[in-house]
Amino acid sequence: MKLKIIIILTIIVFLSQFQASAAGVYLGSFTPKQSESFKFSIPVQNLDGEIISIYTTGDYFRSDNQKIGSSNLKLISREDSFPLSSRDLNIEKDRLLYNQNLNLELDLKAEYEPGLYKNSLYLKDEIKIIEIEIIFEIRPWMEILNGTAQNAKIENVENRTMGLFSSGQQNILIRSNTDWKLKVMIAKENTDNLSIRVAADSESRSFVDYKSEFVNLNAVETVIANGSNTAKLSSGQVEIFYQLRIEDFRKVIAGEKDYQMSFSLE
């Protein structure tokens, strides 16, 4: 019985010497439309001993449904930088700290999807473990690269069909890191009963959903296509082509007509 008590007391004394403390650090909110790196300094106090061990909870920063490698977070020492992971990185304390600050660099890519990402960083010295929860947010972004207002021309020329079509291929270039919808609207004064249809280039088709038939245009925004994270494509963007049609040329005045449309994403 006495032996058990001695063993328990020994364990309690050992654990009281090896303490863990926890803190959280929010690095910020980012919109990386290209590969970018961000640097941070985190104050760290009371690290003892000459060698410090550093590691993360797991090999990923995780959001609700996505993950980013923990190696995207790098520890900057006086001479070099080290990708972090769940494996222990042992480094001399004098190489690690600048005025009691831990210096980090976070690498982000345009393809990373929106979310609040978290992982814990552990600093272990001779007698304690310091836990620092690292948190950062990636915001959703989307853009039309070649402008939201575009012109398309229809010229009333000899045609064996009743319909008139815009000449040439008009295109819309879209980049995003999230799901999107492409909308189009035409000016209220238009009375020519225009319709529009879209298509996509071969690389974009797996990221874009659209109807191939003509859709009527009016002064109310109309969804003509939707898609997902385009940053995962090799080009980083999708290319959507569109064409206008007037169904019956007899209902419009002869000659070239210029139509301005407004495109938007949501």
Phi, psi of 142 (to 5 degrees): -155, 150
Residue 77 binned pLDDT confidence (cut-offs 50, 70, 90): confident
Same domain, 134 and 37: yes
Q: Of the residues 111, 138, 165, which one is the last residue of a structural domain?
A: 138
Does residue 219 have a pLDDT over 80? no
- If one counts the domains in the chain, the total is 2
Same domain, 124 and 152: no
Residue 211 is assigned to a structural domain of this protein: yes
Residue 226 binned pLDDT confidence (cut-offs 50, 70, 90): very high
Same domain, 151 and 254: yes
Residue 252 is assigned to a structural domain of this protein: yes
Q: Of the residues 138, 164, 191, which one is the last residue of a structural domain?
A: 138
> Quick check: pTM over 0.75?
yes
Which CATH number do you get for residue 246?
2.60.120
Q: Of the residues 138, 162, 193, which one is the last residue of a structural domain?
A: 138
Same domain, 164 and 125: no
Cα 241–chain centre separation: 25
CB atoms within 10 A of CB 107: 16
Q: Where in the sequence is the domain holding 252, given as residue range(s)? A: 142-265
Same domain, 162 and 107: no
pLDDT at 212: 85
Same domain, 103 and 171: no
Residues in the chain: 266
Residue-wise pLDDT for 84-139, tens only, equals 999 999 988 777 766 678 889 999 999 999 999 999 999 998 888 889 999 999 99
Same domain, 226 and 151: yes
Q: Which long-range contacts (CB under 8 A, 24 or more apart) does 186-192 make?
A: 186/217, 186/218, 186/219, 186/259, 186/260, 186/261, 186/262, 187/219, 187/260, 188/219, 190/217, 190/219, 190/259, 192/246, 192/251, 192/252, 192/257, 192/259
Residue-wise pLDDT for 169-193, tens only, equals 788 999 999 999 999 988 766 667 7
